[in-house]
Structure 1
């Protein structure tokens, strides 16, 4: 299945992003990944020096007494677990060598009619820590979720969803989660957003467009980081495809948490495998499309090539996102400098975010 192949690719890239250590050096379970075999089966893989106890939990933290012991003293670094999709399963690996517990979950949420919905947990962060699972999610639009999908997302306990899309996109493809999860958005017109920078024409995707993101998306950056600083609970943010505006926002969040840029770029590239364009926008009748944004999306839907996610690289192979990060480095010196200038995120805020969202 396409979703299973994409999930395997995504998890493989996530594993490759972790530091590579010799197995004999492990003092705890390392490089843990979880992948879904089918609707009710998860597999976990890890590396450890000795036996590991495997627990199944419905939350990524809390005492192990609240989790269910699945397998005791596993030495193979592999376990198969029967688990559904709702409530979301978390695997907790207790290394008997030192008693430490490592949490791992699926990066990609297996929604039947969702696109590119995934967790930022497990990535390396500052001071040898990792990003906490179950607190920060990125996604594509959610206008066509099934009732089961809605229930699965509700089970994440989201405190807020920040919609990075324009007014036109939100009108064309209202989320199925309206009324289910608190919604936040910055009102703007897609046409107005690009009027000055693109001469009023809809831009083509690429590094040149991404270089404008630090300026064009500054209000959205302030909103997302205000919500992160509030620590009200898990947060999700999305645009239409969950790759461009969402990819830029993800890069800022991970950079603030101390994730290496190479890992950030690997996460960005997962969108090509994990997008499901058919679920990002309801079908638009081109003959009835009344505004340029609707006509643009109708044109995408009429183009067979756009039914497949396109690689996010310029012709020379350079990731689009790298151009946005270069622009930040050139103009602000660093992501931290940019966040302080445009979003009021101070050094003390960065320290607080790392304490709240890494472990």
Structure 2
């Protein structure tokens, strides 16, 4: 299958790549996309020079012999695939010209009461490979999942969920998956995020992100320890699935060799794919009066503007995440240098991670 850039990303969000980025994005992640048109239908688009056979599987590593044929010798670069959200569907595209198979799935899980729960699969990685689907997930908090949502997430086969939230957030909005999937977290107070500003609440932005390499170092070690164990699919999350989770995602994708431009584009997806209404239960006045973190979130809930995801850019248009990555480059030379010094992720570990999580 010819590796050709598609300007459309999963779930209907369109991000046009600049000519300068085009050579980096001629990768498998961009020549096939899948998005859900309704509860029972996936729309799959790709580019190829010849006919393609379309198959449906319930595992990303399923051989063609175990997948169900959907369509033969398709030349249009488009297919409608009848597939419910559970069990999670994976579409396999076999190029008849060379027999090569490309796997594609929905970027975001279609949860009814979840926020920002998405798969890192399909992104370009080192040595012309791509990140494997179905192994690494990022998300917002999960305190209000519906029973069907819980079943969908359980069906992912997650071995670990790493909660990047503070003690207060986890207490105010406990996940509905507790007791069903192994949970990991680093104990800390959310007020520690404000300690560098004399205890005052710092507005989100590049200045706060520049503190992430230091403030989130214990969480980075935890997540990479779990990844290095290669025990199976992993999920990590914060409250909105954009800031702490976005920083962690940038480190993981960097370690796997994903170009930084693609990492920043994935980060920007968080604005469109967030659902703040499902990230925190309503906080009552009594709780807000006795807990400063509860009061902070209650203020968000009372502010109509905060019901809509906010752009993750400083006034000059620069993404918040870029500031965190600049801080790493300045202090450590590279993400790999940071991971080595702060999280104990050696060059040999990087090679092993790429072997396990890319194809």
Bin of the TM-score, shorter chain as denominator length: over 0.9
In the alignment, structure 1 residue 176 sits paired with structure 2 residue 180: no
Look up the match of 1:132.
Answer: 132
Superposed counterparts of 1:30-69, under 5 Å:
31-69=31-69
**Residue 288 of structure 1, CA deviation:** 3.2
Question: Does the CA contact (< 8 Å) of 2:10 and 2:34 recur in 1?
Answer: no
Superposition TM-score, scaled by structure 1 size = 0.93
Aligned counterparts of 1:205 and 1:113: Cα–Cα separation in 2: 25
Distance 1:154 1:18, change over 3 A: farther
Alignment length (residue pairs): 348
Question: Does the CA contact (< 8 Å) of 1:30 and 1:47 recur in 2?
Answer: no
Question: Does the CA contact (< 8 Å) of 1:29 and 1:48 recur in 2?
Answer: no
**Residue 286 of structure 1, CA deviation:** 2.9
Distance 1:162 1:32, change over 3 A: same
Secondary structure of the residue aligned to 1:13 is coil
Question: Does the CA contact (< 8 Å) of 1:6 and 1:273 recur in 2?
Answer: no
**Residue 15 of structure 1, CA deviation:** 8.5
Show CA shifts across 1:233-261 (max 9, x none): 00000000000000000000000000000
Q: Which runs of 5+ in 2 are unaligned?
A: 1-8
Distance 1:269 1:110, change over 3 A: same
Superposed counterparts of 1:1-359, under 5 Å:
7-9=11-13, 12-13=14-15, 20=22, 31-195=31-195, 197-289=196-288, 290-359=290-359
Aligned counterparts of 2:194 and 2:180: Cα–Cα separation in 1: 32
Aligned counterparts of 2:287 and 2:258: Cα–Cα separation in 1: 46
Q: Which runs of 5+ in 1 are unaligned?
A: none
Show CA shifts across 1:180-207 (max 9, x none): 1110000101113432x12111211000
Question: Does the CA contact (< 8 Å) of 1:90 and 1:105 recur in 2?
Answer: yes
Aligned counterparts of 1:63 and 1:8: Cα–Cα separation in 2: 28
After TM superposition, which residue ranges in structure 1, 4 or more long, deviate above 2 angstroms? 12-21
Question: Does the CA contact (< 8 Å) of 1:6 and 1:274 recur in 2?
Answer: no
Root-mean-square deviation (Å): 2.0
Secondary structure of the residue aligned to 2:15 is helix
Secondary structure of the residue aligned to 2:31 is strand
Aligned counterparts of 1:153 and 1:17: Cα–Cα separation in 2: 38
Aligned counterparts of 1:29 and 1:180: Cα–Cα separation in 2: 32
Distance 1:74 1:147, change over 3 A: same
